[in-house]
Structure 1
């Protein structure tokens, strides 16, 4: 028969384990909401996705961060709902593909890994990225149907609804506030933006932050004309 004192001891041990665990994850409402508004084939976007966002997913920073990718960027939508992309038709195709990846794969890390692969291998993504990252059949079904355009038009609406309006891409917001050009210290900015009760991830320690900074990015501006 379990004694009262034994029950209290077990309860206390569980409480201590829950409170001080290094793997605690912040509640959804406490997480820093990081939104990346971007377009494929934009050099600054590619570099940010490949070299910068990886710091979120390859560290314990993902325990306090909710990443949302919005693949539309500086594209335009005509009156007849035709999408015109800054870097041409190939960008439109890759934006649609990545919209389908986000729609098909439920796990944010899987979404990111697939999209990072595409942005890293834009010329041969089919041979490099389709196998091993997710549901190839479902992604292709989405991409080859009207769903891909519906998703892109949804991202167009999200992008056009930004307050303040985006000026360039990559455009990053933390808890709905734009970082503007201060993207070289993403890790430090996320750590600073977190206001939840869960202890800060180890990467947020001041001794580590300097190792996670990068040089300035190249931006693609809204009204910039790109030669294809």
Structure 2
């Protein structure tokens, strides 16, 4: 086999593994009766700490462990709203683009499959162009990138209409319903309904240690660390807390 053929074979094998593994983990979860770990992320689309978490933690973890995790993302944070005769007027912590970005994600949640929504949200929050393009430009690019090109028209219409305003209001209701404890910063992360500081620093480890079924191959080393007592406790404060977007 020549070098070119070997390289092509390797690429096919890697692509096959990336497709097959999530399916296998899903099947294993069903066979063992283990529920996926529920990850609830409350964030703001232009919050620096939220974007860092999505790019460095949620994105890579989802890529490896999406077969054993269920992700919900609520984009609202410290927005403020005023009811109007039709819809709402929103003021967002990081400016008007954040309000639009939040609505794009909430509208995507309503107009694409859940899997496409999570992938689009990760893409949107991971955009690192400097300066950042407008949220509608990023949203369109991400919709095309994750296979939701045909849904972009509906998402855009939603995000620039009363429908988007209503969905963003509903996101705010969800955010403000959080109690015990109430959010004091974003990203605010719940693992199976319980707030977790550790998830912000090492989401992959938290997913692996929380999942009650047969863990994927990427998890054993993490499990071993926990047995040895090397894993930080959930009570530790995230080291990057100075970059978190808190109540102002």
TM-score interval (norm. to shorter):
0.7 to 0.9
Give how far 1:209 is off.
Answer: 8.9
Report the CA distance shift for 1:140/1:160 in structure 2 as closer, same or farther (over 3 A).
Answer: same
SS of the equivalent of 2:51 reads helix
Q: 1:46 aligns with which of 43, 51, 66?
A: 51
1:42-121 to structure 2, matched below 5 A, reads: 42-59=47-64, 61-78=65-82, 80=84, 81-108=88-115, 110-121=116-127
Distance across 1 between alignment mates of 2:190 and 2:59 = 17
SS of the equivalent of 1:138 reads helix
Distance across 2 between alignment mates of 1:199 and 1:208 = 12
In structure 2, stretches of 5+ residues that fail to align are: 1-23, 226-237
Report the CA distance shift for 1:199/1:140 in structure 2 as closer, same or farther (over 3 A).
Answer: same
After superposition, what is the alpha-carbon deviation per residue over 1:72-102, rounded to whole angstroms, capped at 9, x for unaligned?
A: 0121233654322111111111111111111
Q: 8 Å contact 1:183–1:216 — kept in the other structure?
A: no
Matched, 1:142 2:148: no
Aligned equivalent of 1:123: 133
After superposition, what is the alpha-carbon deviation per residue over 1:76-134, rounded to whole angstroms, capped at 9, x for unaligned?
A: 233654322111111111111111111111132x2122222222334255163343431
TM-score (norm 2): 0.70
Give how far 1:190 is off.
Answer: 1.4
Q: 8 Å contact 2:44–2:76 — kept in the other structure?
A: yes
Question: Between Structure 1 and Structure 2, how many residues are aligned?
Answer: 197
Q: 8 Å contact 1:40–1:71 — kept in the other structure?
A: yes
Higher alpha-carbon deviation: 153-162 or 176-185: 176-185
After superposition, what is the alpha-carbon deviation per residue over 1:138-178, rounded to whole angstroms, capped at 9, x for unaligned?
A: 11121122111111111101100112211100110001100
Aligned equivalent of 1:13: none
Q: 8 Å contact 2:38–2:71 — kept in the other structure?
A: yes
More helix by share: 2
Cα RMSD after superposing both structures: 2.7
After superposition, what is the alpha-carbon deviation per residue over 1:43-99, rounded to whole angstroms, capped at 9, x for unaligned?
A: 00111111211123211x211110001000121233654322111111111111111
Q: 8 Å contact 1:32–1:174 — kept in the other structure?
A: yes
In structure 1, stretches of 5+ residues that fail to align are: 1-20, 224-228
Distance across 1 between alignment mates of 2:41 and 2:221 = 25
SS of the equivalent of 1:77 reads strand
Give how far 1:192 is off.
Answer: 2.0
Q: 1:159 aligns with which of 168, 172, 175?
A: 175
TM-score (norm 1): 0.76
Q: 8 Å contact 1:46–1:119 — kept in the other structure?
A: yes
1:167-178 to structure 2, matched below 5 A, reads: 167-178=184-195
